Amino acid sequence: MLPTFVIGLREGLEAALIVGIIAAFLSQQGRRDALRQVWLGVGIAVLLCIGIGITLQVISQRLPQRGQEGLETVIGALAVVMVTYMVLWMAKHSRGLKRELEGAAASALAQGSTFALVAMAFLAVLREGFETAVFLLALLNSSGNAALATLGAALGVLVAAAIGYGIYRGGVRLNLSRFFRITGVVLVIVAAGLVMSSLHTAYEADWITIGQQPALDLSWLVVQGTPLYSLFSGVLGVQPKPSVIELTGWLVYAVPMLAYVLWPRTAKSNQDSKMGATSS
Tens-digit pLDDT profile for residues 142-169: 655 667 767 877 888 888 878 777 766 7
- Whether 91 contacts 260, CB under 8 Å: yes
List residues bridging with 243 in a β-sheet.
214
Amino acid of residue 79: A
| 189 compared with 86, residue with greater pLDDT | 189
- Whether 271 contacts 194, CB under 8 Å: no
Instruction: Identify the pLDDT of residue 253.
Output: 93
Instruction: Identify the pLDDT of residue 109.
Output: 65
**Residue 29 in this model has a pLDDT that exceeds 70:** no
- Report in angstroms the alpha-carbon separations of 213 from 20, 88, 201, 208: 50, 33, 15, 13
**Residue 53 in this model has a pLDDT that exceeds 70:** yes
Alpha helix ranges (H) inside the chain: 2-28, 32-62, 65-93, 97-110, 115-142, 146-169, 176-204, 227-229, 244-262, 267-279
Instruction: Identify the pLDDT of residue 278.
Output: 39
Q: State whether the Cα torsion 141-142-144-150 is positive or negative.
A: negative
Lowest mean pLDDT among 82-86, 244-248, 257-261: 82-86
153 vs 6: CA distance, rounded Å: 7
| 9 compared with 111, residue with greater pLDDT | 9
The rounded mean pLDDT for the chain is 75
Of 217, 216, 221, the closest CA to residue 248 belongs to 216
25 vs 105: CA distance, rounded Å: 8
Instruction: Identify the pLDDT of residue 248.
Output: 92
Please return the burial class of 92, using the count of CB atoms within 10 Å of its CB with bins 0-12, 13-18 and 19+.
Answer: exposed
223 vs 13: CA distance, rounded Å: 35
pTM exceeding 0.75: no
| 252 compared with 32, residue with greater pLDDT | 252
Instruction: Identify the pLDDT of residue 129.
Output: 78
| 216 compared with 278, residue with greater pLDDT | 216
Mean pLDDT of all residues in 82-110: 70
Instruction: Identify the pLDDT of residue 159.
Output: 84
Instruction: Identify the pLDDT of residue 64.
Output: 80
List residues bridging with 159 in a β-sheet.
none
Q: Over the stretch 186-226, which tens digit does the pLDDT of each residue have?
A: 788 878 888 888 888 888 888 988 888 888 887 777 766 66
pLDDT > 70: what percent of the chain? 72
- Whether 135 contacts 7, CB under 8 Å: yes
Mean pLDDT of all residues in 62-85: 82
Lowest mean pLDDT among 26-30, 234-238, 265-269: 265-269
Q: Over the stretch 224-253, which tens digit does the pLDDT of each residue have?
A: 666 666 666 665 667 778 889 998 999 999
159 vs 43: CA distance, rounded Å: 18
